[in-house]
Amino acid sequence: MDLHPGEEVVFEGGPVWRSIVSFYIVAILGALLIAVIVALVVNVGIGVAVWVGLAIVVVIVGLVKRIGTRYAITTQRLRIKRGIFRREVQQTRIERVQNVNTRQTFVDRILRVGTVDFDTAGTDDSDFTFFGVSHPEAIVTAVDRAQREAAALERTSGQPGQPGL
């Protein structure tokens, strides 16, 4: 990520491996169910082959989804970069962030992961969500710190996000 003059990284990361555990459990059990049905209808050998094939696809999909997502919070911007083969970048200025909410299911709390949802002002693409991050409350603290630093810079320079002269 290319930083602007005076911009500092407050948080950088992505979904942690623990965040896809529940996806793996559900998907592997779904693959097992499909394999059992195939084994009952066709034969056991093909059912096992179907389960192994689906399990491999599930593992690859989970890894690509996790590895291909990067999150960044700087003193000036909020940024999400997704994709390995196809790239999608979503970013906004930090002062546009209005609300920051965290969400954790029971399993997420056990795994110490969660979702952080940022509501931003005045754009069509106003929903930023960090899925599967470790310690989501630390992300909220990082955004608060970045907003305070951006506000301090604005007060000293008179311009949004510009360092004082």
Rg value, the chain, Cα: 21
Does pLDDT of 163 surpass 60?
A: no
CA dihedral 147, 153, 158, 163 (to 10 degrees): -130
Q: Which residues are CB-neighbours of 125 under 8 A, at least 6 positions away?
A: 90, 92
pLDDT of residue 159: 60
How far does CA 86 lie from the centroid of its chain? 16
Fold held by 9-13+71-157? PH-domain like (2.30.29)
Per-residue pLDDT reduced to its tens digit, 62-79: 898 899 999 999 988 899
- The confidence band for 164, taking pLDDT boundaries of 50, 70 and 90, is very low
Section 74-99 average pLDDT: 89
User: Mean pLDDT, the chain, as a whole number?
Assistant: 87
Per-residue pLDDT reduced to its tens digit, 129-154: 999 999 899 999 989 988 888 788 77
